[in-house]
Chains A and B, each alone.
Chain A
């Protein structure tokens, strides 16, 4: 079995195994182990030359994201091993949680790997089902509300995506051999000769369908609540991984439509959705009282920035968008580690109840402070690099759009700084019960700092191979 499938089925096998483990400590350790092996497999996959195996393929576009998601999956499993006992699960939920975790990892890796758009759709659907069950696992009214909203909206979303996929095949049908009919590579090959109007229709549905999962305004309603309910680690993987997979799906659709000169230009649509997301999020951030919802909204903002970048198009802007996706995965999951740990320590995820972290938990507090600064686009982290690239490109291509974007970014920045200081500075609020013993406290803070280190490394000293890969990917998107 080729490695591309092996990695997916390894995760799913791990899910089956985890479903059978009721004991917390054992399950978490096993989960960490599986994630570690999964990460190694991903590295091995990245080292292999790009290849296509039936429905799946590796290319410059998905390899970096597979690496990052495997990395985030690993660190998240470590974090959840350190902090999961704070969630107070019974053994059924322990099984469900861990099984769903690995199912999700496998599914979303498959979604990244898929070359066949049908397979990609199925994978994203599985990922959705898995995350829904994880979001709702607490079974509180709030969790229900969030999970159900997530389920229905994303269900409709991917239904639309399926329709788009079908229409896409309809467009390519006269030109393609049946078996390869949904292969992205094949479609790219013939896109220029497809009927443009059919492509337009397909793009409309794919954009709105996968855009729902990517949380673009006005399809974003599910995102903040889904990030705020459910176990703490889930927010990290939701923001860090799921959004990437969805955005990549949108990209694949865009690249096909973009390859046809007669079809509508997909850029303006992405620009519009992106700008709308940034502006709406940047004002909505000011009304948040719940810290995890706050950063959920910030994810909407960043997805907007990414959409803006890809809408702008061109090598520079595309590279900026890809870098921004990667950076957002790494840093935002770090933020959620910090925020989640803080919420556990203070026994509430209201912003008003968390204060003065640097005084009571220096490692956590400063780590969180720098992670939020990184999310706000401060150096030396990767998001600073990507925003630099994006804004220079925007100013060159469309200065006024760039200025509009900056207006939104500045408002979001101010909100982020306000919350950063509210959480980390000031007189500390008393800790609730649930202080972790020494090594677990360290293990909860370590992923955060590791992510910061990785974000810095990627920002200022990115490995040449990865850089070349991203440049190539930027060219692929077109």
Chain B
């Protein structure tokens, strides 16, 4: 029986997170507009855009290779696969054993590489520029992520997201400085990975500063729809990940059956909403930084993460 529940919850989780992606983006934009004193578009607008884009025939450059056509599917698929591994409203879902933090990072990297290659496919300056910056920022984000993972692994004894969430849920760890530091590091990584302010501005097409947009300038039609969808999904994934690890309360054990899921669902939606609100506030509060300030931003995150790990060493050494 438990197996059935876990599979069901897994399926529900996938549907939920896929559906949530456009909506979350819409809500985020709406919140930002509100905070800036604009009315803002309807929260479902991104969904409508996607559907509209899907109906259009993409235009490819003459010298576009199969890469241009395959990459969007690969990126979207990788995003979906990664999203399927992150616990959301319940723990112990069917894929829980697979949900390793490093594997998730690897799947995200897969999508990133696909996007970079797609950007370079037809040999435009913008594509190359975007790819170069994307990969460089990732190179600095990766260590921060792994160091944060180090702190989590020391506390939970594993890098399995589900187990980590469980360990934090059961508590006994209490509140730790090092956890806070790891959280900051992860937040910085999330911002960089999703090309949000202050690293990049998702709403602009100003060539010299853009990173993410530069790579998909050539994309159109369903390809563009897939790129956008992958981006939205990644944002959702990160928020889900943060909430699962640092706000584990309310997660239902998958085996417990639907009646408890409801509670978990409510809690999850609330957490995501809160995170979206916080992100919107953060983004509208500060300005985008110059491209070559980003390394300092991520380097600081890395150092904080390291500091957290060291503090942990000390504390574990004492106890």
- Asked if A and B form a direct contact in the complex, defined as CB atoms under 8 angstroms apart, the reply is no
Spell out A's residues near B (CB within 8 Å): none
Spell out B's residues near A (CB within 8 Å): none
